[in-house]
Amino acid sequence: MSNSIKFPEGFLWGGATSAGQYEGGADEDGCGLSHMDYIRYLPRKEGMYHLVLNITPEMFEDYKAHDAAHDPEYYFPFRKGVDFYHHYKEDIALFGEMGFKTFRMSIKWSRLFPTGREEKPLTEGVEFYHNVFRELHKYGIEPLVTMTHYDIPATLTESINGWENPEMVALWTHFAKFLIDEYKDEVTYWLTFNEINMAANSSYLGGGMLVEKSGKKPLTCVHQAFHHMLVASAIVTKYAHDTAPQCKIGNMIARLHNYAYTCQPADELATMQANQLNLFFEDVMARGRYPQTMLNYYRDNDVVLDWYPDYERILQEGTVDFLSFSYYFTGVISDDPDKREPRGIFVRKLKNPYLKHSDWGWATDPTGLRITLNELYDRYQKPLFIVENGLGAHDKLETDGTVHDAYRIDYLRQHIEAIRDAIGDGVPVMGYTPWGCIDLVSMGDAQMSKRYGFIYVDADDEGNGTYNRYRKDSFYWYKKVIATNGEDLS
Ligand code: BG6
């Protein structure tokens, strides 16, 4: 059946990146450091997954001290990314060659406002993004811009503990409103926050916070941060609707669909509740109010929030135009306390025996993507955009400059087929931007070895290499997929 289903005309095929992992140039043209710029590369060891993101106040102080002393043992990979700052023309030409219709990128807040507190932005930073947008339009590529993909000026982590503090709402909306005012004629599609739910996994990464420094218990601190981000997002969404009605504003969550471990009703109930908690963010941003399920969760877990003044009206007035999400894997939930997932990690304790797993333990589940698309559309009736998906893998650059990544083609093919099936189910899907369309620094491990791209970048985990770009086999395959609007997936 799926072969007769067509992708809609104007489907936005493309690829996704983030400033923090891609852009580099963190010490150029007055740019300030972000809190991500203090994440250090640590060689991956069994059981160490995500340690790089779980930064404690002691680690933060240690990193700052070694950074100040220029200790060569301390490498901070997000400062360099893969140097889009100097390669943007070359990279965009490659995206153009693949036929991209859209390109997802984000803005580094501290490139415009180094400490997050300046009234006026830096001219060099403002011009850099104008140049990038101009270059994209030269190739007929529509920018899809995430206002904030995790990174906040590091000074705001230090001075006010990031998103825990209500002051962040005013500071961030100042930045985000500037983006709308300045770039509204060049950028139609905007996402407010990348994976707004990320602080549940890493409060440092997602909230720019060191929870140990907060006077609150960790869960309260995290949900206080969510509250401030949701309010800030709604304020800016309404601002864009009022001042730039041609712009379309979306949200972005890390979508995680869970299956019940067994068909015991208790497992099913636990699964439903886990799914509701994940959908909480969509509920607020699409429907404009806190769902009862989350209020119950607060009651049951002693989470007491300081509600932002007038937040109910703000949320109601600032609902998004479309929903976007990242999709990498699904989870498995059991009601059995011994089988419950520990909080704060991505690799699931309960493995799904019916699925294959990547080298990083991520379950490959294209059917889960079709389920996710149907579930989201049934629940919200808003257009959907898959703005991240892909396979992180070890790639090998051959001596002749080729990279044979049939495993990636296979992965993407299966997921594109699942999207096509969901379109056949009646789900309006706006586009698909596979993650890390060009190799960049992996978020979870702060390393280059985990690669997602159609384009190989010659750089290693410690920042050595030529940074030259090479087309992988998947580059030519995706070019054909786009040229045929998803008809030819062979
Ligand atoms: C998403 C993030 O969680 O997953 C990206 O939005 C991230 O920033 C991507 O890079 C893949 O994760 P990782 O850990 O493989 O880089």
CA-195 nearest atom, ligand 1: 6
334 in contact with ligand 1, CB cutoff 6 A: no
CA-328 nearest atom, ligand 1: 4
Task: State the distance from the centre of ligand 1 to the C-alpha of 389, rounded, in angstroms.
Answer: 9
Task: Quote the distance between the C-alpha of residue 462 and its chain's center.
Answer: 23
Dist. CA 136–CA 93, nearest whole Å: 8
Among 195, 268, 282, 417, the active-site one is 195
In the beta sheet, which residues pair with residue 14? 102
The reply to whether 23 belongs to the active site is no
Residue 113 main-chain phi, psi, to 5 deg: -125, 90
Mind listing the pLDDT tens digit of every residue in the chain (490 residues)? Answer: 456 899 999 999 999 999 999 999 999 999 999 999 999 998 766 544 555 678 899 999 999 999 999 999 999 999 999 999 999 999 999 999 999 999 999 999 999 999 999 999 999 999 999 999 999 999 999 999 999 999 999 999 999 999 999 999 999 999 999 999 999 999 999 999 999 999 988 899 999 999 999 999 999 999 999 999 999 999 999 999 999 999 999 999 999 999 999 999 999 999 999 999 999 999 999 999 999 999 999 999 999 999 999 999 999 999 999 999 999 999 999 998 777 655 444 445 688 999 999 988 889 999 999 999 999 999 999 999 999 999 999 999 999 999 999 999 999 999 999 999 999 999 999 999 999 999 999 998 899 999 999 999 999 999 999 999 999 999 999 999 999 999 999 9
**SS3 call for 155:** helix
278 in contact with ligand 1, CB cutoff 6 A: no
Task: State the distance from the centre of ligand 1 to the C-alpha of 442, rounded, in angstroms.
Answer: 6
Task: Copy the structure tokens of residue 122.
Answer: 């830096």
Dist. CA 295–CA 26, nearest whole Å: 40
Dist. CA 157–CA 165, nearest whole Å: 10
Dist. CA 188–CA 130, nearest whole Å: 14
Q: Supply the pLDDT for residue 53.
A: 77
**Radius of gyration of the CA atoms of the chain, in A:** 21
Q: Supply the pLDDT for residue 345.
A: 45
CA-150 nearest atom, ligand 1: 8
The answer for 56, left when phi > 0, alpha when psi is -120 to 50, beta otherwise, is beta
- Does the domain formed by 12-483 have CATH 3.30.70.1430? no
In the beta sheet, which residues pair with residue 458? none
The reply to whether 388 belongs to the active site is yes
Max intra-chain CA distance, the chain: 63
Over the range 388-401, which residues count as b (16 or more CB within 10 Å of their CB) and which as e?
bbbbbbebeeeeee
DSSP string, 65-129: HHHHTT-TT---GGGTTT-HHHHHHHHHHHHHHHT-SEEEEE--HHHHSTTS--SS--HHHHHHH
**SS3 call for 127:** helix
What is the residue extent of each domain of the chain?
12-483
Task: Copy the structure tokens of residue 146.
Answer: 């995430």
CA-nearest residue for atom 7, ligand 1, is 443
CA-nearest residue for atom 10, ligand 1, is 443
CA-392 nearest atom, ligand 1: 15
The model's pTM is: 0.96
CA-nearest residue for atom 15, ligand 1, is 442
Three-class SS string for 462-489? CCCCCCCEEECHHHHHHHHHHHCCCCCC
CA-nearest residue for atom 12, ligand 1, is 443
